[in-house]
Structure 1
Amino acid sequence: MTNRTLEDRYGRVATDLRVSLTDRCNLRCSYCMPAEGLDWLPDDSVLSDDEVVRLIAIGVQQLGIREVRFTGGEPLVRRGLVDIVRRTRSLDPALELSITTNALGLTRTAQALADAGLNRVNVSLDTVRPDTFHEITRRDRLQDVVAGLEAARAAGLGPIKINAVLLRGVNDDQAGELLRWSLERGYDLRFIEQMPLDAQHGWSREAMVTAEEIFAQLEREFDLSPAAEPRGSAPAELFRVDGGPATVGVIASVTRPFCGDCDRVRLTADGQVRNCLFAREESDLRGALRAGAGDEEIAERWVVAMRGKRAGHGIDDPTFLQPDRPMSAIGG
């Protein structure tokens, strides 16, 4: 077995693998997909549990992957999730395993996921007002999310991080309220600039609430100071709230890109490698897998796929084109 790394032409090495387990979701967030949903991937194109675990094993055992995050769509709707987590954990006890979820269903699965070896959860939550939650997600499920967060905490899946997107004219006046709510419960809040990954291709820079606006709003209610610890490859800029120890983060993918420190690679639910969230090209591992390719050949295909990674996502470039796949089909 040859040990290689997933290094691109700019010297960045991917050690953090994001694995999308499904493109399906039980919410319909307005900035992600239309109310009627999308045309889901056909079942036979989605990787089986065995195929998912085999590709993760190649990444971990041959290519230096140290962190695996399971995403979607909504990964909790994947029936085999707990078993996939358990089998991934068995690959290496030192792996950092996490999940990005809307928390619906965590009340049923949090303890099983913890027992299977999951370390922590990231939960998408843009508001703590029931009416705004319904407006954004088109579902009346806020209390289920709150209960899911509590179940995750009870199961020891921490630190619990909350990811929030502010939408102009919808919840852009609620940053302070969301931070106070998170601080009271001991959750780590991260605001994320809305990215051009919606299925409707309705994103515009003018409508996006920027990091500067988020800071300005928070600083009306809190004293923010830069966190002492270096950011490294983490996407969030962290700030101590009222002197700490609690922090709030801002992930400014659009206005303050952090591409130069990126250590992530993505695997879609249908077995495609994406070397950047905004890539317009993918590399097919599923075809090789199903054609009988050995682990060495698949590993080499993955290495080649990473070499093509661009220096940056190019959102600021006038020629930027939004990826054909929306976020729900790529994974966070």
Structure 2
Amino acid sequence: MGRPLMPTPQPLPEPTLRPTPAARHTSAAPPTSAAPPTSAAEGPLVDRFDRVHRDLRISLTDRCSLRCTYCMPEQGVPWLAKTTMLSTEELLRLAGVAVSLGITEVRLTGGEPLLRRDIVDVVAGIAAMEGVEGPIEVSMTTNALGLDKAAQALADAGLTRVNISLDTLRPETFRQMARRDRLDDTLVGIRAAAEAGLTPVKLNTVLLRDVNDHEAPALLAFALEHGYELRFIEQMPLDAGHTWHRESMITGEEILAWLRTAYELSPVPQRGSAPAERFFVDGGPATVGVIASVTSPFCGTCDRVRLTADGQLRNCLFAAGESDLRTPMRDGASDEELAQMFRMSIGAKLPGHGINEPGFLQPPRPMSAIGG
């Protein structure tokens, strides 16, 4: 696959970020609000490599109703303390600051965002915000468990679309991968999303070697039959058990090889900042995507920033440190001071995630505690 252009890595000063608990012995001190606040009117969130950040991913909870093998150990992980979690008011305030800085899309993630009881209120609050380009687009990444009961209310509140995890169509394989017997519930949730108009419904699939890799053509056939958009994602080193190994990961090229045993694929031009490289299936108009974060990174066009459920700002999915917004906000920081902290975090963003560099270390937080 073609590799997007990316700035040449160069030595950079250590960013001033608040370390996660497991990384405090190596990270620098937390930022302060001593610098004069920057007006939101001074322009969008741009880093030193001229990447404009328009996409905010907000994790609503670190809890999940599944225990997928590539994400969590079977017994789960210690959850974030309830007192550290952002309230609805706090979450909406930080989202509003981000919107004032040029964010145009907010993706709600987890853990599993549907486990948050105030999910409809969160969606409604963000959907009511007006950004620099008009109303904010609100989407969600979910495992779809319980979506059959919530889909219409979420759509009415302003949710526009969903990305749903679906790794297999075989009940026994679902039990093996998710450690829960919930395939039927997942499929019901997917249908409910489509019926509620949360379209295009996008399906996210992680292939594991000798587990579900042979299902790639069947999963694409399922998506094409029902009008869903399928995207395969390379397994990334973000599992809580730190069991990821490059040698066992199925690459984007392997995924495409599996698909080409049943379909003709041709590249879709003008990828932009999208994480998925898309391909027309049998001439189109239907497409399939491959997100090859490890073997074909797209850091050079990244426009994403992440806010964790406990109020920590992360300028990269694989960042070793994070900026604390919750503490200064609770201590009385103004919106302008919080906006400056957003700018400081983005200003410290590195040119790439470094997965393929010597000395790469997996982030202390797993994906379930970061948000996708």
TM-score (norm 2): 0.88
Partner of 2:306: 266
Alpha-carbon deviations, 1:181-226, whole Å to 9, x = none?
A: 1110110000000000000011010010000100111101100011
Map of 1:36 onto structure 2: 75
Runs of 4+ that moved beyond 6 A = none
Q: Quote the residue 1:173 is aligned against.
A: 214
Query: Is 1:249 aligned with 2:249?
Result: no
- Find the aligned partners of 1:21 and 1:95 in 2 and give their Cα distance: 18
Give the conservation status (yes or no) of the 8 Å contact 1:89–1:97: yes
Q: Report if aligned partners of 1:159, 1:187 keep a CA contact under 8 Å in 2.
A: yes
The one-letter amino acid of 1:84's match is: V
Q: Map 1:209-228 onto structure 2 (within 5 A).
A: 209-228=250-269
Structure 2 unaligned blocks of 5 or more: 1-38
Shift of 1:6: 1.4
State the 1:94 CA deviation: 2.1
SS at 2:289's partner residue?
strand
**Residue in structure 1 matched with residue 15 of structure 2 by the alignment:** none
- Do residues 71 (structure 1) and 109 (structure 2) align? yes
1:281 alignment partner in structure 2: 321
For 1:307 and 1:138, how far apart are their aligned partners in 2? Answer: 40
Could you tell me which runs of 5 or more consecutive residues in structure 1 were left unpaired when the two chains were aligned: none
Deviation at residue 283 of structure 1 after TM alignment: 0.3
* Count of residues in correspondence between the two structures: 330
What code does the residue aligned with 2:128 have?
S
1:85 equivalenced with 2:126 (yes/no): no
Higher RCO by CA contacts (8 Å cutoff, separation 6 or greater): 2
What does 1:43-192 correspond to in 2, within 5 Å? 43-61=82-100, 63-92=101-130, 94-192=135-233
**Alignment-mate amino acid for residue 49 of structure 2:** Y
Partners of 1:297 and 1:127 in 2: how far apart? 46
Q: In structure 2, how many angstroms separate the alpha carbons of the residues matched to 1:11 and 1:239?
A: 28
Supply the distance in 2 between the matched residues of 1:284 and 1:12 (Cα, whole angstroms): 22
Can you list the C-alpha shifts for 1:303-329, whole angstroms capped at 9, x where unaligned?
Answer: 001111000000011110000000000
Question: Offset of 1:291 from its aligned partner?
Answer: 0.3
User: How many Å apart are 1:177 and its aligned residue?
Assistant: 0.7
What does residue 331 of structure 1 align with?
371
Q: Distance in 2 between matches of 1:87 and 1:275?
A: 24
Query: What is the identity, as a one-letter code, of the residue corresponding to 2:139?
Result: S
Question: Which one-letter code corresponds to 1:217 in the other structure?
Answer: W
Residues 40 and 339 in structure 2, CA contact (< 8 A), matched pair in contact too: no
Give a deviation string over 1:212-252, Cα, whole Å, max 9, x none: 10011110110001114x10000101001011110000000
* Mapped contact 1:5–1:303 kept (Cα < 8 A): no
Alignment correspondent of 1:23? 62
Task: Give CA deviations for 1:48-85 in whole Å, capped at 9, x if unaligned.
Answer: 11100000011112x10000000000000000110010
Task: Provide the rounded CA distance (Å) in 1 between the counterparts of 2:296 and 2:347.
Answer: 24
Letter in 2 for 1:183: L
Distance 1:198 1:149 in 2: 25
Question: What's 2:26 paired with?
Answer: none
Q: Is the 8 A contact 2:237 2:362 kept in 1?
A: yes
Match in the other structure for 2:249: 208
Asked whether the 8 Å contact 2:110–2:368 carries over to 1, the reply is yes
Give the match's secondary structure for 1:121. strand
Deviations 1:128-151 (CA, angstroms, capped at 9, x unpaired): 111101100000000111000111
